[in-house]
Structure formats: C-alpha cells, structure tokens
Structure 1
Amino acid sequence: MCTREQYTVGWICAITTEYVAAKQMLDTVNDPVPLSHNQRNTYTFGKVGSHNIVISVLPIGEYGISSAARVAEEMIHNFPNLRIGLMVGIGGGAPSPKHDIRLGDIVVSTPHNGHGGVFQYDYGKTMQDQTFRQTGFLDQPPTVLRAAVSELRAQYMSDGHALDDVVSKILDKKPRLRRDFARPDSATDLLYKAHVVHPKDSEEPCNVNCGSDPSLLVTRDPRGEYDDDPAIHYGIIASANQLMKDALTRTKMRLGKAWNGAELHPRNSSLVGGNVCNKQLFSNQSEMLTTIRISNLTSYA
C-alpha cells in the first residue's frame, strides 16, 4: 500500500460527473490511505503510469473559488509531496476565425503576451469611464511542465494522438457509461452566430430550438484526413467565478475557456487544459497527466 508521502499528483473535480470520468483514467486503483477522522474531503487513490494520484471532488452544492481552494488546501496538507495539480471542471469553447475550436477539442493553457496561461476575466476594476479592466492572471506554470507541453506538442504534430482510442477502450470496458460519456456525433456540432439567442429554460437540443437555417450558422469545412480530431489548441484559457453563457461577450473575448481553471491554490504547480464537448468526455490520456491540469469544457459559451 502506498503511503501518503508517495502521492505526487492531486486531481480535483468540481462535480460528480467529472469525478466519474477522472476515475476511469486510472490504470490501477490503490488501497485507501489512513487519514485523520476529521477529514472533510473524500479521496480515490490510484496510479497512471508511474504516477501515484489522489482524486477528490467538491461537495454537492458547493462551487467556486473558495470551495475548490478549501479542498485543494486540505489535499495539500494530507499529501505533502504533491507536485502537480489537475482539475476537471465545466466550461465552454469560444471559437473564432483564427481558432477553429470544435466540440470535443482540447485546450491547453500556454503563456502568451506576458500572461501565465490563465486569464481570470471577472477580476479587475471598473474605471471612471465605466470600462472594466481585468487585472487577474495566474503565474505561468513551472518550466518543467511547459517543457513537457512543448515535447508533447511536437510529438502530436508529427505523429498525431490516440485520444479517441483511449475513450473507446474505456467505454467498451464500461458500456453503461456510453449514454452519458460518449462523444456526440459531429453532425450535432452546430455553431450558431453570436446574435442567435437560445430560448430560456428549454431542454430541447439547439438544432430543435434554433433550427438549422444556414443563415444562422457559422460555416466550417469538415476536417481532413490528416487533421487531428479532436484537435489540441494552445493558448490563454479564461477563468471566472461566474458562468459565461452570452455569445456576444464570448465573441469579444475570443478565448478558449475553462471556468474552474483558476480555483486551485497557487502553491499547486499546474498547467490548465480543457476538453470542449457537449457531454462529459474522457479526453485526457496518461501521457498528458504530468503536464496539464484538466477541465472539461462543455458546449460553446
């Protein structure tokens, strides 16, 4: 049995659905580690490759920075040798003409223009001219993680990746998960123009509520034989304590977003990444585990 000092990767999930997905990525499940009786966190222990990983989930009904920070702080206290932090959260993609982000794609945060890779868009100050100026940015990830991203990026550019195979093997092993976790058909990935307003409180899918009139849709060419699908994008990821559901604001920001990406304690060395999808999707393979903190991005913001 591993001791708590042997765990070096901490993985926090925002909701139960993400917790289920995270646990499927473990190669093996380890025996529980004895901890004090006044614990507020619950943990799953396991291993991916050579990495011992501890996974926790926020309590039902608790969201936001303060709750995630408490879970992370207690995890760090219980497992003093954690070196890498991962988080699985929910968010939306913000595609643009330059960045063809589609459902199922992956967004990995990388430093850009002096920013560390995560942009907290609701942290700032309102000026006298009524404009809002963002001032919140996380520090950039440690050099070793950024170097690992460069290595994986080069590998994927030349050889591609096998993310779909990873997902398929998990769903074949546990078919009852297929209904809620399988990737939707690409034909359902309809990107509406920013001015299209989706009806409130409707449970019908977008193609029923908003129709499929070509004049309302952004035209995108099918991906080719040598295009990665899902694609992996690198750049700034937006984070906040509020949920972004306004397409016009999204269009102004022009960013791939991971809404829970800034919630881990700054002592937890991490890099943020996300999967853009309609449903929760197992998007992260073991070779990426040492390089990214993961958030599932659902739909378009």
Structure 2
Amino acid sequence: MSALLRDAVVVRVDDDPHDYRIGHLDSIDPNRPHRVALTTMALDNTRNAATTCTDLLRTFPSIRCVLLTGIAGGVPAPQHPERHVRLGDVVVPVSGVVDYGHTRERAGVAEPRRPLGGLSMAMLRAVRRIQQSAYTGAPPAWQEWLLPAREQPMATFARPPATTDQLHAGDNMIDHPAPAASGHVDGEPKIHYGRIGCADVLQMDEKRRDDLATRHEVLAFEMESAGVAASATSRGVEWFMVRGVVDYCDRHKTDRWHPYASLTAAGFTRRLLADCRPFPVWRTVTGSGVIALMSDQQADRLVALLDEAPPLDLPRLWRAAVGNAVPMPAAPPDNVTDLFHHLLGVNANAENLPPALAAAEEVATHCDSRLASRIRDCVDQVALQLQIVEAVRRRRGLAGPRAQPQPPDPAPAAPIRPCLLIQIERDGIDQQACEVRYWIQRRSDSWDPEPGEPRRTTFQRVERVMQEAIRHAESVWRDGQGPFEIELLLPTDLLHEAVEWWRTELEEPAPTPLCLDYPIVVRSLDRMRATFRHRVWADRWKALWRPPARHRLYWGRPATDDSLDQWNAVLRTDTEITTVSLGTSPERSEGGAELRSALNAGVPVILWDRRVPLDSSTIRLIEKLAEDEPELLRDRLAELRRAAATAADQPHHPGRHLALLWDDPERTVYEGPRS
C-alpha cells in the first residue's frame, strides 16, 4: 500500500506510537482523490488490531472509513472448482465476516454469538461496480493495479513460480482443478467474493479448516477484522477488508507467497477506492500543498448553487478572482463549477482571500437575490472557519450595491467539560438484557471522546458495568482538572429512568448514588442516530447560545388539556424555543407524547418531574433553575440533587425527582452532520 500511495509523507504524532503515511489514492471523481492515512500493525491479533484502529481514529478524527488490507489463509475446494481458492488470489467479504472465536456453546456445539457489523456500504457499492465491469466482459487490469503510480516494477513483490503453489491432502500432494474449471488465468490472481472467518487462531489444521469452512461458508481465515470492527463501529465509523491468500491453513504453510499476496490485496484495494466516491472529509489539493478551504460536503453544496448561476464571462470571472498575476490554465474551464475547482488549488491573494471564495462572491453579484444570499451564506460559513471574515467583508465592499450585509458574529459555543458518555440500549429480543457502550472525553478544548470496550449485560447488572466504565474514566482523568460529568445516552423508552440515582461503589457498605459525585444528564440516542433531525436540533442549540444566551421556556400541557396537536404546532413554529418543561413524566402517555414531540422539534433542553403533573411549586423551582445563563442549569440541578440526598424528607424532595435532558448536537459519537 505504501508503494501505491501518491504524494506520501511520513507523519508522527505525540501520544500515538504509530507512524503514518499520508497521501492520496484515486476515487471515482477525478477532481477529488481520497486522502489516506496508512499505518501498519505491529502484531497479528484482534486486540492489537483494535488498539491500532482506536489510535488511528483518535489521531485522525475525520476518518470516515477504515480499510483493513493484508493477508489470509485460503480454503481450497478442489471438489468444487468454482469455489477453489489459490495462492495469490484476493478474497473480499461482501457477505460479511464470521467471528468464530466469539461463540456460544449450546448442546456441545459452538455458534458465533453475533455477526460483525459496520461493513462500509460505500465500499460494497464500489465492489458491485467492479463486478458489473466483469459481467460485461472487461478483464481485470491487474498489470495496472499491481504497479505503483510511478509505474516501476517491484521485484520484491513478484509472483512466485506456479510450482510453489502446492496443494496437499494430508501428506499427499494433489492437483489443482483445471484453470478453465476454477476460473483462473495463468499468472494472475482471481477475485473471490463471499465470507471470511476471524479469530485469534493461526489455522494449521486441514480438517479443522474444512469443518469451519463448511459450517460458516467462509473462503479464508484471518486474525484482525474482529478487533477493527469493534473499534471502528464503537466510534460510528464504517470499515471494510481485502485479503490476499498466502497459504492453505495447513501444516505445509510457508511464507513464500506473503509479498505477492500483500501486493494483490493492495492492488485490489487501490482499484476498489478508484470505484468509490470520495468521502466528505477535509482534504488537501493534490500536488499543490494548498490546504483545503472547506469540507467536501461544503464544496458540494456551494458547487450545486454555482450550477444555478446564469452564463458568465469565464475569463472575466477568473481575473476578478485572481487578478492578472495567475494566467488561466492551458485547458481553460468550460463552466463556472470547473473554474471553481481549478481555483481551489490557487493560494490566497494579498488580501488574504482565497480565489475560490472570491470567485463565488463575484458569481453572487450576477445572481438574483435569493441565489446570491444562499451562495454568500456558504461563503460566510467557510470564512468563519478560516477566520477571514474581514477579508470577505472588504470584498463585498468592492462588489457594489448588490453586496449583502456583513455576516453576524457567531454565537459563543457551549463550554466543553471532560465527561463520561455511557450508552445503554435494550436488547431487541431479550428485554431484560442490554448493551452498554461508553466514551471518555478527557479534554476541555475540543470534542474527541475515546471509546471503551462495549459490554452485553442485564439490567440487574448494569450498575456494575457502569461502575467499571466510571473507574476507567477516573483513571484517565486522574491528572486532570474538573468538573467531570456523566451523560447517559438512552433510547426514548429509557429516558424516564432515574439514572442519576443509580449507584457506584457497589461492594462497599453504603453504595453511592452517581449524582453525589457527578452532574448527571440524559441524552437522546434515537435522535443522535437520526441524522435527518440534526439540522433543526443544531438550530435550536444555536438559539440557546445566541446573545443574550438564555433559556426560552415552553411549558407542557395542563393535566386536563389533551390538545397535543396545538401544543406541537406552537413548538414547531416558534423556533426560538430552546427549553421544554414537560407537563408530566414521560412514563405517562401524555408526558411521553410531549417528550417525543420536543425531541423531533430539535429541542436540546428538556426537564420534567417524575412524580406528578406540574404544580405551582415545581413551576417556580424550574423557573429559578433556568433564569440565568444556560450553563448554570446543570450545576444548579446537581446541587439540588445533593441536597435531596441529605434531606430528612428525601422521598418528597424535588431534587429526588427532577430529570434533565441536556443534548448538545456538536457532541456526537455517531455519523451525522455537525455545525
């Protein structure tokens, strides 16, 4: 892979033991190559794979897909030539990976507990394109795939002589099926699509190999994908795998085919990415050294708007963007969007304004007011990120009467506190079972949570699993400065649980409620996963912090009022509402309906009393809690809960029953747009 990478540079990062090569590989879009971070695992097992993947994703948080490329042991099938795997062939797990080392024993038979999820749909679509090409008769261009970009042969990775591809049955050497029957071409690898088996087992037993292959319908065996899958999916990142076959998982295995099989896996990976659309990540312009102005998602949105612009004089537009110092390319662009892509690779001018943005500003002056406003909104977003708002304002001052007002100053962001985010999700079949995942945020400067090991457990033991997560977090925070918080990421049907009163120090004589040691809030797992709700959620969050930052309260319905439609309509039409106080607990149908309506409307802060419908004393208390800056609400509620723990009338103290959903859309652990 290192030999096939373009423009590669070596990068070393503090607090990360791995070396990385950063470079480019072609995508299906010739103007937007994939930007790739490449590293190599030190050892071949699932634990090391998980650790390496976790380090990779922590160092490069914008990664959108993890590709595992390497070698595997193949499963020969001389009695079924169409499935026969030979040395140097490539196996692609389009049907998934079987974690046969993670099993459930039942009636003396070991069964895999669950399939490895998270395979990249983008990669599967690219595989389908390659398969479609094969169906039309286009032969695999292996000679092109297996050479580096500089097109020099690599003798180190040469294909071994065919006589070294020896197949055995016990101690006897047997013949391979005829190439015409197995679909092989002399001197070239064959691509197999199917299923791969994974476990921390180096397979060298012919009988065991065939038994597992028959039971699980696998074409090859390897030792890393389960670790990569666990690490990547815990961060909401897709993954995929390509394997080159080096042996037949028997006692006759040698290392002779390792270099060539590594190359065939790397070559197919290169082809796979060439048929895959570029992911929406930050990039550099290939070969220019120019840092990307915007994410691919922002660029796509701006290009879509530029496509709506009327026909323009392109040479004049070029001069308006860069002046006369930089001539137009020898092959001039055919339209505005091509010109925009060219300008992404040109450095900013003396006014500190990138030419691509200058061109977008110039296009806006020739558009109707609606389209011009949308183009300038996109430019404003990029300008705020690059801290060049003043340069954009100066440009608009030169643009004449069509120029729009300067963009408003951004609202202050909510402060980031170190926290432990714990996700609890009910099992889809066994309602007494659940899965617990957690992420540790150790820093205060940026949101970069580190995943822990997911655990399956029961609700009876969930406090014990949470205690392990808390102790892990405390060991990470031991040299840090608080306050430290715990956020519970829950599906809607669990949001009513009094999680702040769940306990830790369970082995001690007096287990301690969580709320005595930490501010506790709940968050919506369903909304975090529903990316189609993120825009309105982010808009409400911004309204919460827009100067003057304050809660804009909306009260739940009285117990006698059943007009949910009208209540919901007011909530939807008044986009300045940031905080909802439910009329009753979500455990009741009325409160549950209000909760779902508030979540769907994007409300980031929701309070409720778990006891009874709102009364006058609770209303006054909530008004008091929410009367100042939004950030104080969590601390005031934490104080109220601590007071409840020491109160003589604890069962009746309001701090025992008030719940808070505090849901920041910028603090996500699943894929989705961020503001």
Question: Considering the TM-score relative to the shorter chain, is it more than 0.5?
Answer: yes
Partner of 2:240: 271
Residues 1:52 and 1:171: Cα distance change in structure 2 (over 3 Å): closer
140, 155, 159: which one aligns with 2:133: 155
Matched, 1:236 2:178: no
Partner of 1:9: none
Whole-Å separation in 2 of the counterparts to 1:174 and 1:148: 27
The structure where strand makes up a greater share of residues is 1
Structure 1 window deviating more from structure 2 (45-54 vs 273-282): it is: 273-282
Matched, 1:54 2:31: no
Instruction: Return the offset for 1:242.
Output: 1.4
Whole-Å separation in 1 of the counterparts to 2:200 and 2:150: 32
Whole-Å separation in 2 of the counterparts to 1:168 and 1:70: 31
Whole-Å separation in 1 of the counterparts to 2:145 and 2:123: 22
Residues 1:163 and 1:262: Cα distance change in structure 2 (over 3 Å): farther
Residues 1:161 and 1:39: Cα distance change in structure 2 (over 3 Å): same
155, 162, 168: which one aligns with 1:186: 162
Matched, 1:261 2:225: yes
Instruction: Return the offset for 1:174.
Output: 5.9
74, 88, 100: which one aligns with 2:84: 100
Structure 1 window deviating more from structure 2 (134-143 vs 95-104): it is: 134-143
- Percent identical pairs in the alignment equals 21
4, 14, 18: which one aligns with 1:41: 18
The letter of the residue matching 1:275 is G
Whole-Å separation in 2 of the counterparts to 1:28 and 1:167: 18
Partner of 2:548: none
8 A Cα contact 2:75 2:219, kept in partner? yes
Structure 1 window deviating more from structure 2 (137-146 vs 235-244): it is: 137-146
Residues 1:171 and 1:276: Cα distance change in structure 2 (over 3 Å): farther
The letter of the residue matching 1:53 is V
Partner of 2:94: 110
Structure 1 window deviating more from structure 2 (166-175 vs 91-100): it is: 166-175
Where 2:227 maps in the other structure, the secondary structure is coil
The letter of the residue matching 1:93 is G
Where 2:167 maps in the other structure, the secondary structure is coil
Whole-Å separation in 2 of the counterparts to 1:139 and 1:64: 19
Residues 1:31 and 1:152: Cα distance change in structure 2 (over 3 Å): same
Partner of 2:575: none
Whole-Å separation in 2 of the counterparts to 1:23 and 1:29: 8
Whole-Å separation in 1 of the counterparts to 2:2 and 2:163: 29
Per-residue CA distance 1:55-77 (angstroms, 9 max, x = gap)? 11223xx4422221111111111
Give the unaligned 5+ runs of structure 2: 27-32, 247-256, 277-675
The letter of the residue matching 2:20 is Y
Residues 1:190 and 1:227: Cα distance change in structure 2 (over 3 Å): closer
8 A Cα contact 1:91 1:257, kept in partner? yes
Residues 1:105 and 1:90: Cα distance change in structure 2 (over 3 Å): closer
Matched, 1:80 2:64: no
8 A Cα contact 2:130 2:275, kept in partner? no
Per-residue CA distance 1:97-153 (angstroms, 9 max, x = gap)? 140111111111112xxxxx00111110233x4322222421152333222211111
8 A Cα contact 1:270 1:291, kept in partner? no
Partner of 1:12: none
Whole-Å separation in 1 of the counterparts to 2:151 and 2:123: 32
8 A Cα contact 2:20 2:38, kept in partner? yes
Instruction: Return the offset for 1:89.
Output: 3.4
Residues 1:87 and 1:55: Cα distance change in structure 2 (over 3 Å): same
Whole-Å separation in 1 of the counterparts to 2:275 and 2:65: 8
**Count of aligned residue pairs for this structure pair:** 238
8 A Cα contact 2:99 2:199, kept in partner? yes
Per-residue CA distance 1:239-297 (angstroms, 9 max, x = gap)? 111111111111122322241222212323122221113222211332213679xxxxx
Where 2:226 maps in the other structure, the secondary structure is coil
Which structure has more relative contact order (CA 8 Å, sep 6+)? It is 1
8 A Cα contact 2:46 2:225, kept in partner? no
Q: TM-score, length-normalised on structure 1?
A: 0.70
Whole-Å separation in 2 of the counterparts to 1:188 and 1:269: 37
Residues 1:263 and 1:164: Cα distance change in structure 2 (over 3 Å): farther
Instruction: Return the offset for 1:169.
Output: 5.9
Give the unaligned 5+ runs of structure 1: 1-21, 112-116, 197-209, 211-215, 293-301
Whole-Å separation in 2 of the counterparts to 1:41 and 1:48: 21
Per-residue CA distance 1:219-238 (angstroms, 9 max, x = gap)? 411348x8553111100111
Whole-Å separation in 2 of the counterparts to 1:244 and 1:270: 24
8 A Cα contact 2:92 2:242, kept in partner? yes
8 A Cα contact 2:98 2:115, kept in partner? yes
Whole-Å separation in 1 of the counterparts to 2:55 and 2:94: 27
Q: TM-score, length-normalised on structure 2?
A: 0.33
Whole-Å separation in 1 of the counterparts to 2:238 and 2:275: 10
8 A Cα contact 2:123 2:240, kept in partner? yes
Where 1:271 maps in the other structure, the secondary structure is strand
Residues 1:220 and 1:130: Cα distance change in structure 2 (over 3 Å): same
Q: Of the two, which has the highest radius of gyration?
A: 2
Per-residue CA distance 1:156-196 (angstroms, 9 max, x = gap)? 33201112343356897365xx24x2111222212112x33
Whole-Å separation in 1 of the counterparts to 2:21 and 2:240: 22
Where 1:161 maps in the other structure, the secondary structure is coil
Whole-Å separation in 1 of the counterparts to 2:150 and 2:74: 24
The letter of the residue matching 2:134 is Y
